[in-house]
Amino acid sequence: MNNPIVKLSTLLMLSALLAACGDDGDTGPAGPQGEAGTDGQDGEDGLDGVNGNSAVYTVQITNLTYSQPFAPAAVILHETGYNAFSEGAPASMGIEIMAEGGDPSMVITEAMESTDFLDAQNSGGILAPRSMGSEQTLVVPELDADNLRLTVTTMLVNTNDAFTGLNAADVSNMAVGDSKSFMSVTWDAGTEANTETAATMPGPAAGAAGGGGEAAGYDVVRDDLADAVRLHQGVVTSANADDPSREGLTTSVLTEAHRFDFPTSRVVITRTR
């Protein structure tokens, strides 16, 4: 009768004997090399350093006017405490240059000097009337998403110093996928008299009348007696200029087509990450 316990003990003794009789401890031949492991999956944003711990937003502007192109826009994300302009107060130099000549660069520079600044974009192109602009992408630290403000400024180029946009609009606590839409009015920078002449406006209406261009943009002299930002009263135009009972500027190169209503623009912000 076979005894499995005896067989097992015998095998153990043989193994120990063979190990004792081995040659000088040389190891046996190496086994075949194992296959290389596969690469791990790439980490998602926030784990691999790309926009890690940041919130990402897109901002898009729509020009609602019939015949007023918008100059390049300053698009700024910031915290409370910063305002690009204040109604009833003199405009900063950045607002003056933007509203008279269409260049938003100094508005962004002034914002960057504030401790409340987070991120900004210069849209960099003319936005035609009745059209939607390209999306501008801005990135801010996640921890600042609960106290976030949006400022947008852009000139109506067939004017002396009119601009539209937002002034520290509240866009706090937006979840990923959320959007907010704002309808904005037009402001008068209060830095240039609204003469509507070809020599004082940089837009295509002045150009068609033999003026316009860069030379008709920013003027260091402030000749608007108000010298304060205020809601714009609208362009006067040359319509009815010969009728003393009605408004009209004989010097104006603007027509009825260049009038604008409120709202002048729509601004949509979307949180994408």
Q: How far apart (Å, rounded) are the C-alpha atoms in residues 49 and 99?
A: 39
Q: What is the pLDDT of residue 42?
A: 42
Residue-wise pLDDT for 168-211, tens only, equals 999 999 999 999 999 999 999 999 999 999 999 999 999 999 99
pLDDT at 32 exceeding the cut of 80: no
Lowest mean pLDDT among 7-11, 36-40, 107-111: 7-11
The answer to whether 184 and 152 have CB atoms below 8 angstroms apart is: yes
**What are 49's strand-pairing partners?**
none
Q: What is the pLDDT of residue 52?
A: 65
- Using DSSP's 3-state secondary structure scheme, residue 120 falls into strand
pLDDT bucket at 17, cuts 50 / 70 / 90? very low
Q: What is the pLDDT of residue 250?
A: 87
Q: What is the pLDDT of residue 215?
A: 84
Residue-wise pLDDT for 107-130, tens only, equals 999 999 999 999 999 999 999 999
pLDDT bucket at 33, cuts 50 / 70 / 90? low
Overall average pLDDT of the 216-231 stretch: 94
Greatest alpha-carbon span in the chain: 134
Overall average pLDDT of the 23-43 stretch: 49
Q: What is the pLDDT of residue 116?
A: 98
Domain annotation for the chain: domains and CATH numbers = 54-271 (2.60.40.2130)
Residue the block writes with tokens 């135009």: 237
Q: Considering Cα of 200, then 205, then 209, then 214, what sign does the dihedral take? A: positive
Lowest mean pLDDT among 28-42, 107-121, 146-160: 28-42
Interstrand relation of 162-170 and 186-188 (parallel, antiparallel or unpaired) = antiparallel
Residue-wise pLDDT for 44-95, tens only, equals 443 434 566 899 999 999 999 999 999 999 999 999 999 999 999 999 999 9
- Using DSSP's 3-state secondary structure scheme, residue 226 falls into coil
- Using DSSP's 3-state secondary structure scheme, residue 94 falls into helix
Mean pLDDT of the chain: 86
Q: What is the pLDDT of residue 64?
A: 98
Identify which has the larger pLDDT, 37 or 122: 122
Q: What is the pLDDT of residue 246?
A: 64
